[in-house]
Amino acid sequence: MLDTFEILTTSGVVLWSRSYAPVSSNIINSLIRDVFIEERIQPQSGDAGQKPTYRKETYTLKWTTAKDLGLIFVAVYQSLVHLTWIDKLLDNVRALFVGLYGEQLKKEHTSKLDCSNFAPYFERQIQDLEGSSDSATSNVKLTPPSSTDNDSADEKSLKPPALRKQQHQLYDTSADSTPVPTPETSRPTTPAQHHLITGKGRPGAKLSRRDRKKASAASTQPSSGDETSAKRKAKGSAKKNRVWGEFGAEEEDSSVVLDYSQSDIRDEGSATEALEEIKQETWGRKTGKGEFVLKDIDEEMDQIIAAENAKKQSSTASGGIVGSSLGAIGGLFRNVVGGKTLTKEDLAKPLKGMEDHLLKKNVAREAVVRLCESVERDLVGLKTNSFTTIDSTLRTSMEKALTKILTPTSSLDLLREIQTVNATGRPYVISIVGVNGVGKSTNLSKIAFFLLQNHHRVLVAAADTFRSGAVEQLGVHVRNLKELSKREGGEVDLFEKGYGKDAANIAADAVAHASKNGFNVVLIDTAGRRHNDQRLMSSLTKFGKLAKPDKILMVAEALVGTDSVAQARNFNASFGPGRGLDGFVISKCDTVGDMIGTIVSMVHATGVPVVFLGVGQHYADLRGLNVSSVCRLLMS
């Protein structure tokens, strides 16, 4: 069963919501954070028909958006329940809501939206779809599994409810004077009909008009006399005159419509026909029985949905020959002047160019595709500003996407973190991992130098017990650093146990040694390992458990190409569940010029921020990441 359905704006205001069971607001907040902001969870783009899902705690969330109006529609339900009709519901509700309130939503400088009368529409949708899914199973039994001839199956399955309906109508006429049961009893009949229409497992886009006609025809057949069918005809003609652009007027009616069934009955009781007659032309269809009115909401709803779908189709597929040629000229003009509504086709070519540009900057293909997709999602359906071309719009959007992907979620102030941890009385442990030869030891000594300048007492632990000369190399670094930091006031020492021992144990010993001797920070150097070698990578899990590092930094060189994504992923996953990398150090940035795409690839693969950049050979050549300058370099 559906737990909650919410319609909210991107600016965070909930416009309309209906909850059947209490759901904590942080469920939806985390959806927004993880999916919309951090894009940590990629919506599966495999099957086009399916909406993406997001799981949090025991809930499953499905959502859809109306980009131009800045709306998000979210449905929340228990993961245990398998609801097949949520996609349809989301689509229908979006079409309905946009159709009903689209004009109001375009108003500026307000967050108010009076959509209190949306509830009946929603309830009807739920009932229809729930009904259809309930009977979907029985429907399958009825129809031969291989039958493509829907109509014959329709006829068959339509019969029983039609009969039921007749009975109900009889009942209704008898119980007309009692207002209470009428709406209640008539309710199950209508969805029962509808499930046969919607629940046939057809692709959602092309249902509606024909089906609806069929349904209404079926429903009128049993209903007794000529007068009703005549009424239906009158109704049909009234329908055609309607202008569906003016939804404002419609929605005012709709609230009346609901009450109308009851007030109607009351009116019949008191027999006041004067008012009725005046409204006969416009409201003729509503003077019938209670269920006529109810069906009206259905039809109105279907019509709105159909209109929205048609609008969407017409916007994607351009008109005739004249229209297209005129459109082409206009498009060219608008391309220069601006004010053009962007479509996928418009963006395809400039996006390709942007893709090539980024690939040249050494960004991994996967990351480029993701960035371009996010830009496309951002731009399709958007109108370009006046006097901006598509290219410049694309550029700003790409810059925004890059900034978003590179900006860390939380503060990266290492010094402050060290202070906080030291306040609890234990040393701050940083361990450095990475592939062979990327500069782990060099960057470790750079970080040590930085910490020494801030008057920390640093212990360097040589946990690379594999490569010959690794311990000695660290010894040289420590000796240099001792010399350099003598005047500054910092203190540094080396912790080593020679070669061949288990790295995890040495690291644990080093931490114990540091806390005994009053060191603030422990820097652990590890052996380089190939990221796709399971045997070597598996020892990292033990290492993470024993040394309990506060921060695990991975060193990657800016020279690496497409492999960067795999490296980052494998290292991120190697520490066991619940522990990943905390940051990247990108080394050798000075050797690549402006081709610093590796930074983007690494962050893309894991969502872990870049903490340091190595920009030279000296101890002081360590920098923090400046997002805007990196973006500028990448876009240049």
Partner 1 sequence: MAWHDQDSWLTAAFAPKLSTIVVTLLLTLLLPILLHHFIYRRATPTTLPTFLLLGPSGAGKTALLTLAERNQVAATRTSTSPLAVEALLPEGFTPASSHYRSPGDPTFERSRCFLLVDTPGHGKLRHFATAQLADLSNVRGIVFVVDAAAVAEEAGLNEAAGYLHDVLLTLQKRYTGAKTSKGPKEIPVLVAANKEDLFTALPQHLARLELEKAISRIRKSKATGLKDSGVAMGGEEDAMEDEREWLGEGGEGPFEFQQMEEVGTSVTVLGGNVLGSEGSDVKGWFEWIAEHL
Residues forming contacts to partner 1 in the complex (CB under 8 A) are: 6, 8-14, 17, 25, 28-29, 32-33, 36-38, 70, 108-112, 400, 403-404, 407-411, 413-416, 419-420, 450, 453-454, 589-590, 594, 596, 612-613, 615-616, 621-626, 628-630, 632-633
Residue 169 CA from chain centroid, whole number: 46
Residue 54 CA: distances (Å) to CA of 16, 61, 87: 21, 5, 13
The residue among 382 and 527 lying less far from partner 1, judged by its C-beta, is 382
Sequence-ordered list of residues with C-beta below 8 angstroms from that of 173, at least 6 positions apart, any chain? 289
C-beta of 441: minimal distance to partner 1 in Å? 19
Of 110 and 147, nearer to partner 1 (C-beta) is 110
Report how far Cα 299 is from the mean position of its chain's Cα atoms: 32
| Nearest one of 448, 507, 435 to 477, comparing CA atoms | 448
- Nearer Cβ to partner 1, position 74 or 358? 74
| 604 close to 565: Cβ distance less than 8 angstroms | yes
CB of 594 to partner 1, least distance (A): 7
Beta-bridge partner residues of 585: 555, 612
| Angle, alpha carbons 500-502-508 (nearest 5°) | 135
Give 31-37 contacts, CB < 8 A, sequence gap 24+: 31/56, 31/61, 31/63, 31/74, 32/72, 35/63, 36/10, 36/72, 37/404
State the nearest-atom distance from the C-beta of 17 to partner 1, in Å: 7
CA 285 to chain centre: 43
**What HEC string does 250-300 produce?**
HHHHHHHHHHHHHHHHHHHHHCCCHHHHHHHHHHHHHHCCHHHHHHHHHHH
Closer CB to partner 1, 214 or 357, in the complex: 357
Question: Nearest approach, Cβ of 425 to partner 1 (angstroms)?
Answer: 15
Q: How far is the CB of 7 from partner 1 (least distance, A)?
A: 11
Chain position carrying tokens 């009725």: 276
Calpha distance 69→251 (Å, rounded): 19
- Of 413, 408, 470, the closest CA to residue 444 belongs to 470
Q: Which is nearer to partner 1, 462 or 589 (CB)?
A: 589
C-beta of 109 vs 516, nearer to partner 1 = 109
Which of 405/463 has CB closer to partner 1?
A: 405
First to last CA, the chain: 52
Nearer to partner 1, 272 or 628 (CB): 628
| Residues 343 and 387: beta-carbon distance below 8 Å | no
Closest CA to 607 of 39, 29, 14, 25: 39
Q: 183 or 616: whose CB is closer to partner 1?
A: 616
In the bound complex, what is the minimum distance in angstroms from residue 444's beta carbon to partner 1?
15
Which one, 34 or 123, has the nearer CB to partner 1? Answer: 34
Three-class SS state of 161: helix
Sheet holding 551-557, edge to edge: 491-495, 457-463, 521-526, 428-434, 551-557, 583-587, 610-614
Least Cβ distance, residue 613 to partner 1 (angstroms): 5
Which structure tokens are listed for 6? 């919410």
Cα angle vertex 170, ends 166, 174, to 5°? 165
| Minimum distance from residue 583 beta carbon to partner 1 (Å) | 13
Name the nearest CA neighbour of 554 among 578, 579, 533.
Answer: 579
Cα–Cα distance measured from residue 408 to residue 233, given in angstroms and rounded to the nearest whole number: 63
- Give the residue with the Cβ less far from partner 1, 162 or 602: 602
- In the complex, minimum distance from the CB of residue 612 to partner 1, in angstroms, rounded to a whole number: 7
Instruction: Give whichever of 324 and 407 is closer to partner 1, judged by the CB atom.
Output: 407
Cβ of residue 483: shortest distance to partner 1, in angstroms? Answer: 21
State the sign of the Cα–Cα–Cα–Cα dihedral 534, 535, 538, 544: negative
CB of 33 to partner 1, least distance (A): 6
Toward partner 1, which CB reaches closer, 77 or 292?
Answer: 77
Q: What 3 state SS string does 482-544 have?
A: HHHHCCCCCEEEEECCCCCCCHHHHHHHHHHHHHHHCCCEEEEEECCCCCCCHHHHHHHHHHH
Residue closer to partner 1 by CB (options 373, 509) is 373
Going by their DSSP bridges, the two strands 521-526 and 551-557 should be labelled as unpaired
Closest distance between partner 1 and the C-beta of residue 14, in Å?
A: 4
CB of 44 to partner 1, least distance (A): 21
Distance in Å, CB of 98 to partner 1, minimum = 17
